[in-house]
Amino acid sequence: MTRDVHVLMAHGSGGVLSHELIRDVFVRQLGNQTLDGLEDAALLALDGSAGGNWAMTTDSFVVKPLFFPGGDIGKLAVCGTVNDLAMRGAQPRYLTVGFILEEGLALAELERIVASMAAAACEAGAQIVAGDTKVVERGSGDGVFINTAGLGRAPEGVDVSAANARPGDLVLLSGAVGDHGLAIMTRREGLRFDTPLESDCAPLNGLVAEMLAVCPELHVLRDPTRGGLATALNELAEASRVEIMVREADIPVHPAVAAAGELLGLDPLYVANEGKLIAIAPASCAEALLAAMRAHPYGREAAIIGRVIAGHPGRVVLETELGTRRLLDMLSGEQLPRIC
Amino acid sequence: MTYIQGFRNPAAARHLIERIHALGDAAPMRVMEFCGGHTHAIMRYGLREALAPAVELLSGPGCPVCVSASADIDQAIGLSLRPGVTVATFGDMIRVPGSDTSLQGARAQGGDVRVVYSALDSLELARKLPQRQIVMLGIGFETTAPTIAATVAQARAEGLGNWSVYSMHKLTDPAMRAILDAGEVRLDGVLGPGHVAAITGWQAWEFLPREYGVPCAVSGFEPTDILQAILALVESRREGAPRVINAYGRGVTPGGNAVAQGLMAQVFRVAPAAWRGIGLIPASGLDLAESYAEWDARRRFDLPDVAEGPLDAEAALGCRCGEVLRGVTLPPECPLFGGACTPAHPVGPCMVSAEGACAAHHRYGRSAA
């Protein structure tokens, strides 16, 4: 079989094909010193000089259904960009928003979406300062697509980057994984569970501020969105040229999420999150960091899940519940349910 | 979940692993896990390494998408590109390579391919889209065939004229026989497919000890299920009297699920089937019975017999999927493994499905020790 010459859904999954598309099409033509780092947000000096602590990022949102337990596309569009800024240690200041609306969308639904955006921006302490609206004819969109961009600022002296993990560091996770992706998927498929699954969608900049207050030397932050925890850990191991070892038993997964994952044949470690972060920090401040995370509403279930070793750079190894070890690979394509 | 967790109990698993090592002979016991679900669980829990050298595990042909012939995939792709036709399929199938592309590639080129979680969802599509022809890809072994049979019966009851099934269903025991008859691989035991046996009953596997002298332990899919079944095989070798052991008592009975068997017998007829990697095996597949021919996509769209098309187009590229499916070659022994062939860019079907042996080895197994 020859390689596909068209864009596939799997190119948007956040896994290997997404990375290939970014590398072979976008970075190849648009690359520069800042973009090449492929961080969640770029760190810039606004006068064009080297260094700087202004963080800038953008993100687009195409979720279906538009409304889901725990949030909607509006809340997601604000939190996604706020969180990308926060993953460089930055507090969000200004956001822009672009709407692509499909002919026929109920105005009441749009009102609800915009109200969620206002609430989420308020919680994050960010102002929406510019916007744009386009309407496409019925059938050319899925109700509403939203793009947001954000500008934020990191405290002086903070240097948080995907490339900063060092052997000896510990890996922390702010809470249970898989909630968002499985909430969306079960809603989309009309599956019902006794314990309702809810998206974890939340702005994480407040949590990050508390973490930096107790551990300013924090090395790495990453929100495990598309592709889930497993893919994010692989990206970090790759960017920092280190090996990461994690223990399956220490990774929090809510029972309802685990059950829904079993039923659908989906591994929660590969499912998207919208309100969780991975932190990698020197072992010396890990306990203080963990305590600060658990004291915050968005980090109550935080845990130390693993450690960084020199090992094989780029590799992530999972110690299973049975104590055996295996590779924890990056997501390859779309996560697809199994046949039997 | 609490129920499942008990079958993943680390202390119980460690105890079983120690017992297997203690009872193992100097020569490793060669056990084929027939089912791709077992391959996946074995790799996911690191059991292959944990059991070496006492037990050597070989993957078998029990991955439904892996054994679907290229020509069948090509026909499904062709259908999805026809105006007015929608192909409904389980998710695993969309990445399986045909001769030139896959169903996901066809979708990117304008083909109408919809992923469904249940065959009944494809009936719902047919009701919602009366102007389109919906073709459900019927795939899987005795495990999924009854659900497709029930769906066909439902389509007939409703008189749905815009729904049909393209049956690629296959039977497990003819494939197991074909592998043993070929004599390419020596087996000391077979890990029997638990979910297949839930339908057929464990007695359906008695041909293994009776005709081939090979013991079979029907197993569930959690780590302690698998370890318990393997321990039973090791014990059976010491006893020297091969038999079928039902190590999945909570799901499998001697005679199986009579209702499901009845539905299959009513809707399907046994027919020759084209297996990727193995070839054409007589009486190894399920086509629609005469009385249900109206819902047979092959007849509705007048499709040619796949036996005339390519069974495994990737073999020409050096892919050894066929040998992997027959237990002759381990995935890392294929020259394409991990280089030209990865889960993101699979050459052969064993690298596609989570249950494919190559994908499981690639995902979990690459030198994690």
pLDDT digits over A38-68, tens only? 999 999 998 887 778 999 999 999 998 999 9
What ranges in chain A are assigned the alpha helix state H?
Answer: 16-21, 28-30, 73-86, 107-124, 179-188, 205-214, 228-240, 255-264, 286-294
Residue B1: pLDDT over 70: no
Residue A144: band (very low, low, confident or very high) from pLDDT cuts 50, 70, 90: very high
Asked whether the beta carbons of residue B365 and residue A9 sit closer than 8 angstroms, the reply is no
B367 pLDDT more than 60: no
**Which chain B residues are Cβ-neighbours of A332 within 8 angstroms?**
342-344, 363
Contacts A10 to B, Cβ<8 Å: 95, 104, 344
Report whether pLDDT(A157) > 60.
yes
- Is residue B194 in a domain? yes
The pLDDT, as a whole number, for residue A221 is 98
| Mean pLDDT on B293-317 | 88
Interface A-B, measured as beta-carbon pairs within 8 A, has a size of: 135
CATH code assigned at B228 = 3.40.50.11740
pLDDT (0 to 100) of residue B91: 87
Q: What percent of chain B has pLDDT over 90?
A: 79
Structure confidence by residue, pLDDT tens digits, B3-32: 677 888 899 999 999 999 999 887 899 999
Q: In this structure, is the dihedral angle defined by the CA atoms of residues B266, B272, B274 and B275, taken in order, positive or negative? A: positive
Is A189's pLDDT higher than 80?
no
The verdict on a CB contact (< 8 Å) between B363 and A327 is yes
Question: Looking at the predicted structure, is the pLDDT value of residue A339 above 80?
Answer: no
Judge whether B113 is closer than 8 Å to chain A, CB to CB: no
Contact B46 A322 (CB under 8 A): yes
How close is the nearest chain A Cα to the Cα of B347, in Å? 6
Residues 147-176 of B with CB under 8 A from A: none
Q: Which residues of B touch A322 (CB under 8 A)?
A: 8, 10, 13-14, 45-46, 50, 223
| Amino acid A200: pLDDT | 96
* Residue A194 touches partner B, C-beta closer than 8 Å: no
B312 close to B322: Cβ distance less than 8 angstroms: yes
What Å distances lie between residue B17 and A104, A164, A305, B54, B188, CA to CA? 61, 40, 26, 10, 18
B343 contacts on A by Cβ (under 8 Å): 16, 329, 332-333
Q: What is the mean pLDDT of chain A?
A: 93
- Chain B residues 193-222 with CB within 8 Å of chain A: 195
Contact criterion met (CB < 8 Å) for B45 and A323? no
Residue B358 pLDDT level (bands cut at 50, 70, 90): very high
pLDDT at A13: 81
- Taking the Cβ of residue A253 and every Cβ of chain B, the question of whether any pair is shorter than 8 Å is answered with no
With cut-offs at 50, 70 and 90, classify the pLDDT of residue B333. Answer: very high
Of the candidates A262, A322, A337, which has its C-beta nearest B117's C-beta? A337
Checking if the pLDDT of B211 tops 60, the result is yes
Cβ partners under 8 Å of residue A255, min gap 6: A195, B1, B2
- Sequence-distant (6+) residues with CB within 8 A of B135 are B76, B79, B85, B86, B87, B88, B163, B164, B165, B166, B297, B301
Rounded to the nearest angstrom, the minimum Cα separation between A42 and chain B is 28
Region B51-58 average pLDDT: 94
Share of chain A above pLDDT 90, in %: 76
* Nearest CB neighbour to B8, from listed A9, A321, A339: A321
Asked if A263 is an interface residue toward chain B (Cβ–Cβ < 8 A), one would say: no
Q: Which of A255, A258, A326 sits opposite B364 (nearest CB)?
A: A326
pLDDT value of residue B309: 76
Higher pLDDT, A49 or B125: B125
Confidence band of A191 (pLDDT split at 50, 70, 90): confident
User: CB contact, 8 Å: A264 with chain B?
Assistant: yes
Residue B34 is predicted with a pLDDT of: 95
Neighbouring residues of A115: CB distance < 8 A, sequence distance ≥ 6:
A74
Out of A45-49, B154-158, B185-189, B257-261, pick the least confident. Answer: A45-49
The pLDDT of residue B368? 47
Q: Which residues of B touch A338 (CB under 8 A)?
A: 37, 90-92, 353-355
Q: Inform me whether the pLDDT recorded for B66 exceeds 60.
A: yes
Question: What's the mean pLDDT in A96-119?
Answer: 97
Stretch A273-301: mean pLDDT, rounded? 98
Instruction: Name the residue with higher pLDDT: B277 or B215.
Output: B215
**B266/A contact by beta carbon, under 8 A:** no
Cβ separation B90–A337 shorter than 8 A: yes
pLDDT band at B323 (very low <50, low <70, confident <90, very high): very high
C-beta separation of A88 from A41 below 8 A = yes
Q: Taking CA atoms, what residue in A is nearest to B369?
A: A325
For chain B, what is the total number of helices (H) and then of strands (E)?
16, 11
Within a domain: residue B61?
A: yes
Tell me the mean pLDDT in the region A99-109: 97
Is residue B10 one of the residues assigned to a domain?
Answer: no
- Interval B286-299 mean pLDDT: 97
* Least CB–CB distance from A327: residue in B91, B109, B366: B366
CA distance A317 to chain B (A): 6
Total structural domains in chain B? 1
Res. B306: pLDDT tops 90: no
Q: How far apart are CA A303 and CA A294, in angstroms?
A: 9
Instruction: Chain A: give the shortest CA distance to residue B105, in Å.
Output: 6
| B140 pLDDT more than 60 | yes
> How close A339 gets to chain B, by Cα (Å)?
6
Distance, CA of B22 to CA of B12 (rounded, Å): 15
Q: How far does CA A176 lie from the centroid of its chain? A: 13
Per the domain annotation, does B317 fall within a domain? yes
Is A320 close to B44, i.e. CB distance below 8 A? yes
Per-residue confidence at A190, pLDDT binned at 50, 70, 90?
confident
Look-up: residue for tokens 């049975």? Answer: A322
User: Would you say A232 and A220 are in contact if contact means Cβ atoms under 8 Å apart?
Assistant: no
Q: What is the pLDDT of residue A321?
A: 86
A308 touches chain B (CB under 8 A): no
Q: Which of B10, B91, B343 has the CB atom closest to A332's CB atom?
A: B343
pLDDT score of A196: 78
Which are the contacts of A287, defined by CB distance < 8 A and separation ≥ 6? none
pLDDT of residue B369: 45
Query: A337 to chain B: which residues are within 8 Å by CB?
Result: 90-92, 115, 117
pLDDT at B268 over 50: yes
Closest CA to B369 of B59, B50, B101, B106: B50
Average pLDDT score over residue span B341-351 = 89
The residue ranking higher by pLDDT, A40 or B2, is: A40
Does B58 score more than 90 pLDDT?
yes
Taking CB atoms and an 8 Å limit, are B8 and A15 in contact across chains?
A: no
Q: Which domain holds residue B328?
A: 31-363
From chain A, pick out residues whose CB is under 8 angstroms from the CB of B108: 4, 6-9
Give the pLDDT of residue A264.
Answer: 81
Share of chain A above pLDDT 70, in %: 96
Residue B336, in any domain of the structure = yes
pLDDT digits (tens, 9 = 90+) for A235-260: 999 999 999 999 999 999 999 999 88
Q: Is residue B141 part of a domain?
A: yes
Decide if B25 is inside a domain. no
B111 in contact with A, Cβ within 8 Å: no
SS3 state of residue B177: helix
- Contact flag A324-B50 (C-beta cutoff 8 Å): yes
Measured between alpha carbons, how far is B311 from B308 in angstroms, rounded to an integer?
A: 9
Domains of chain A (ranges plus CATH)? 32-153 (3.30.1330.10), 170-327 (3.90.650.10)
Q: Which of residues 236-265 of B touch A (CB under 8 A)?
A: none
What pLDDT digit, counting tens, does each position of A326-338 carry?
A: 999 888 766 665 5
DSSP A257-286: HHHHHHHHT--GGGS--SS--EEEE-GGGH
> Which chain B residues contact residue A325 at CB under 8 A?
46, 368-369
User: What's residue A243's pLDDT?
Assistant: 97
What is the per-residue pLDDT across B32-41, written as a single tens digit (0 to 9) for each? 999 999 999 9
Q: Hey, of A326, A331, A334, which one would you mutate to test binding to chain B, going by the most B CBs within 10 A of its CB? A: A326
